[in-house]
Each structure stands twice: as C-alpha cells, then as structure tokens.
C-alpha cells in the first residue's frame, strides 16, 4: 500500500496553530471541507483510500484520507487556466510525535504508517 507525503508551505500560514485550525475544518462535508494539492503530474499508483501525510516546518504533523483525484478546473479556488490535477483530501488526523522530514517540496510516495 502506497501512501504519499507532501509539504504545506510555511509561508502560507503565520504559525502552526493557524494552519491546524484550517486542517481540522476539512471534514469533506462541502466544497470548502476539503484540502487539495494541485499537481502537474498526479501519482501513477492507485492512492484513493490511502493516507497523505502532511509536513509543516520540517515535521510530519498528521495525515488526511485521500478521497479523490480530480481535474483542477473542477475546483473554483484554483486558477482555472492552470492544467493538472488535484489530490482531494479530507478527515485530518493529527500526529503528536511525527518524524522530521526536510528537503523537498511537492509530493512523493512514502512508507509512513499510523
């Protein structure tokens, strides 16, 4: 089973507490209840139903369930002229003792498990 790991740009939020408040609201209840990751090249392995671990400030903070991969044009808050896909995530689960991971941006496959 292949999970993925991705980064949350530190510049997007003033601190971890602010970021985590938004992550907790991503319950999948409506369009604003999802976290999405835009990517030019989506994963080739089947990942729907797997986990996406999230890094903020060099540390794994938790994970989402991957619920879909969709065309970026179907998500109004992404730039509609951009090509690519979005990985659609919901149901944030915090990890209190996540490992440190530094040195990349974007996404990649990982062997991390709960």
Q: For 27-77, what is each residue's pLDDT tens digit? A: 988 767 899 998 888 899 999 999 999 999 999 999 999 999 998 888 877
- pLDDT for 17 equals 95
pLDDT surpassing 90 at residue 18: yes
Q: How confident is the model over 78-85, as a mean pLDDT?
A: 72
| Local structure of 56: helix, strand or coil | strand
Q: For residues 38 and 107, what is the distance between their CA atoms, to the nearest angstrom?
A: 10
Average pLDDT, the chain: 88
pTM here is 0.88
Q: For residues 90 and 22, what is the distance between their CA atoms, to the nearest angstrom?
A: 12
Q: Which residue has the tokens 């992404």?
A: 78
Would you place residue 81 in the very low, low, confident or very high pLDDT band (cuts 50, 70, 90)?
A: low
Q: How confident is the model over 86-113, as a mean pLDDT?
A: 87
pLDDT surpassing 90 at residue 26: yes
Residue 86's DSSP bridge partners are 38, 70
Would you place residue 20 in the very low, low, confident or very high pLDDT band (cuts 50, 70, 90)?
A: very high
């Amino acid at each position: 089973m292949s999970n993925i790991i991705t980064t949350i740009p530190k510049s997007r939020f003033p601190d971890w507490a602010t970021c985590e408040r938004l992550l907790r609201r991503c319950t999948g209840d409506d369009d604003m209840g999802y976290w999405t990751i835009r990517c030019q090249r989506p994963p080739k392995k089947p990942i729907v139903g797997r986990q996406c671990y999230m890094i903020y400030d060099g540390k794994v903070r938790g994970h989402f369930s991957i619920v879909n991969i969709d065309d970026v044009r179907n998500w109004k808050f992404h730039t509609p002229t951009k090509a690519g896909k979005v990985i659609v995530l919901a149901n944030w689960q915090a990890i209190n003792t996540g490992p440190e991971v530094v040195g990349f941006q974007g996404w990649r496959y990982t062997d991390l498990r709960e």
